[in-house]
Structure 1
């Protein structure tokens, strides 16, 4: 009889948004009773606590409702052959999967569909000044973050993103720096499409089009921040 000792986790980080894969060994909890899994950006991704023999608690920070969900799961289910779907109980959307490597990687492709479904459900298309440009700017920013190109001069790589009707505001909680990415015109989209990395100025304020490492871009007149959005 073959006993599975490793299960694969796929989950989207609630901080940087990257899709992370993690191989969880049955022996990782031996002698400790708990385990914390972190994203490559350093953010808390998943907590596993041995509640009782053969039973565990999963602590799952949610990318959708910004809280931590607790789910009880048996060891047989955690390391079994059947894939377990981790769901946000508030929105009903998928947060990740636990199971065999091949099946988890196939299912993980649907997580992006879940994010799009949430945007449709909340009526984001009616909220943004230019929904098409905003969606494409978000995708570009996600690619930059996934490739390790989003960080602050202070050394922090856990950059928070606030979404407004016409822009994204990147915020470093370590030094309180801010970087604005506008997302309402085709020019705004062209700007971020030509950028490979975004570095926030320590204790400073920047707009994306003022970056010195983007010489091919035409600098735009800085627009005032909309304090009412």
Structure 2
């Protein structure tokens, strides 16, 4: 009889937005009852607690509720290799998958394809100054990140994204650099469509928008954050 000892987790990090794959080993529980999986950026992705009844409690962060959901599953099911998903009970949004590596990689394509799809699922259109432009800017940013074009001069490629009414703010946790991408006008969209890489300046501050090259023009700073990360 072939005994499965490894299963694969696929989940998009709620902090940095990266699509993460992690192998979970049955042997990792040798001499311990719990296991925690973290993203490369350090964010919590999954907590597993083994119970005496040969079942497990799985805890996963939710990008919708900004809390953690619990799911109980038998050890037989967890290590069987048969894929199963995590779903937010309030929104129905798929949060991640566990199962055989090949199947999980295929299923992961149905997870939100980036920040733009996540906003579509949650329905925050009414909060943006220009929802259509914002969605397209998010899609462009995700494509840049997926192609390895989003990074900081300090060497960190796990960049946090915060979403505001009129812009995206990129933040490097390693050196505290910031890059602002405005997303209000067609001109803002054209700017990000013309770049292949976005490099944050080490310990610095930059803007990527249609007025960034104009010394006499500045965009107003709005303080109300509507989605992702800590509340102001």
TM range (shorter): 0.7 to 0.9
Once the two structures are TM-superposed, the CA of residue 96 in structure 1 deviates from its matched residue by 0.7
Q: Equivalences for 1:82-93 in 2 at 5 Å?
A: 82-93=82-93
Gaps of 5+ in 2: 226-232
CA contact (8 A) 2:84 2:99 kept: yes
1:9 aligns with 2:17: no
How many residues align structurally? 223
1:224 aligns with 2:220: yes
What corresponds to 1:55 in structure 2?
Answer: 55
Q: Deviations over 1:90-140 (max 9, x none)?
A: 322110111122322222111127976753454433332322221121122
Once the two structures are TM-superposed, the CA of residue 152 in structure 1 deviates from its matched residue by 4.3
| Farther off after superposition, 24-33 or 10-19 | 24-33
CA contact (8 A) 2:17 2:114 kept: no
What corresponds to 2:164 in structure 1?
Answer: 164
Once the two structures are TM-superposed, the CA of residue 176 in structure 1 deviates from its matched residue by 4.8
Once the two structures are TM-superposed, the CA of residue 85 in structure 1 deviates from its matched residue by 0.9
CA contact (8 A) 2:115 2:139 kept: no
What corresponds to 1:45 in structure 2?
Answer: 45
Separation in 1 of the partners of 2:36 and 2:166?
37
Once the two structures are TM-superposed, the CA of residue 12 in structure 1 deviates from its matched residue by 0.8
RMSD, aligned α-carbons: 3.0
SS at match of 1:27: helix
CA 1:116–1:219 in 2, change beyond 3 Å: closer, same or farther?
closer
SS at match of 1:104: helix
Structure 2 length-normalised TM:
0.80
CA contact (8 A) 1:161 1:171 kept: yes
Separation in 2 of the partners of 1:111 and 1:55?
26
CA 1:67–1:128 in 2, change beyond 3 Å: closer, same or farther?
same
SS at match of 2:31: coil
Separation in 2 of the partners of 1:45 and 1:122?
20
CA contact (8 A) 1:36 1:47 kept: yes
Separation in 2 of the partners of 1:13 and 1:35?
17
1:195 aligns with 2:195: yes
CA 1:35–1:66 in 2, change beyond 3 Å: closer, same or farther?
same
